Amino acid sequence: MPFDLVKAAFLGIVEGLTEFLPVSSTGHLLLVGHFFGFSDENFGKSFDILIQLGAILALLSIYFTRLWGLLIGFFTDPASRRFVIGVLIAFLPAAIIGALAHGFIKDRLFDVRIVCVMFIVGGLVLLLIDRLDLSARYHDVMSFSLPMYLGIGIVQCVAMIPGVSRSGATIVGAMLFGADRRSAAEFSFWLAMPTMVGAFAYELFKSRAELSSGNTLIVAVGFAMSFICGWIVVKTFLGYVQHHTFALFAWWRIIVGALGLIALYLGM
């Protein structure tokens, strides 16, 4: 039991720290499970689902006031209504493709080799985005055009390949369509809300028969660590990207991906 608590805490930390950064939480959890045996499958489906819920609730708790304002403003403020519609438009492509291709993605793409390659490719893309002379026309997520919301949503679909990163794909898409680094990163938070809640609800429904109340303490530890670490990341990430490039995350991805491929080549 004590070692299981350590594993649960570690997985919760990995989930919370990586969910909202452009490094791929799914990819990190797959690599941790493969190379260290710290797999969430050891604790059942309830653990996998609930540590993700911890990260979701961290984001929603921080944005609660703004979410409430948008809910009230949806009926009275055209700008709020337009933004909510824009987020839903951006969410739509992933919702459709995810529902249609969920089985194929789980069966064929959840492979550590694919994760490692996507880590490296994604890192190189982030380095390229930092070096491109992009003209930032948008500095506020509420001012994006409706076609831009849709374009970002289409780009986000690439993140269904484990190792790509939902956050990273959203940020890259937004910057290519004219957003500055900060607004691109902030929109990744907004788009994460329906995307993560939708994915969570879908997994919860599919796994409802497998959920159990066992290992309550283990699940609680993983959930708490995911919530705390997710909260810290959401609170600090926008301030960081406002003054720094994505190089730190790019090189982390490249190094982890390269080390993973070397380990796989060596038969580890």
Q: What is the mean pLDDT of the segment spanning 46-53?
A: 79
Sign of the CA dihedral 108, 109, 114, 116? negative
Residue 246 bridge partners (DSSP): none
pLDDT tens, residue by residue, 209-254 = 655 555 778 888 999 999 999 999 999 999 999 999 999 999 999 9
Classify burial at 267, counting beta carbons within 10 Å of its beta carbon; exposed 0-12, middle 13-18, buried 19 or more: exposed
Q: Which residue has the tokens 């985005």?
A: 129
Residue 238 to residue 109: CA distance in whole angstroms: 31
Q: Output the six-digit token pair for 59.
A: 């984001």
Instruction: Write down the pLDDT at residue 51.
Output: 87
Q: Output the six-digit token pair for 71.
A: 């809910």
Instruction: Write down the pLDDT at residue 103.
Output: 84
Is 54 in contact with 224 (CB distance < 8 Å)? yes
Q: Which residue has the tokens 């959401």?
A: 234
Instruction: Write down the pLDDT at residue 76.
Output: 93
Give how far Cα 34 sits from Cα of 39, 54, 135, 151, Å: 7, 23, 41, 34
Of 159, 161, 165, which is closest to residue 250 (Cα–Cα)?
165
Angle at alpha carbon of residue 218, lines to 217 and 222, rounded to 5°: 115
Instruction: Write down the pLDDT at residue 50.
Output: 79
pTM for the predicted model, two decimal places: 0.93
Q: How large a percentage of the chain has pLDDT more than 90? A: 74
Output the CA torsion 7→11→13→17 (10° steps): 160
| Domain map (residue ranges) of the chain | 2-265
pLDDT band at 203 (very low <50, low <70, confident <90, very high): confident
pLDDT band at 267 (very low <50, low <70, confident <90, very high): confident
Mean residue pLDDT of the chain comes to 91
pLDDT tens, residue by residue, 73-120 = 999 999 999 999 999 999 999 999 988 988 888 888 999 999 999 999
Q: Which of 25-34, 117-126, 202-211 has the lowest mean pLDDT?
A: 202-211
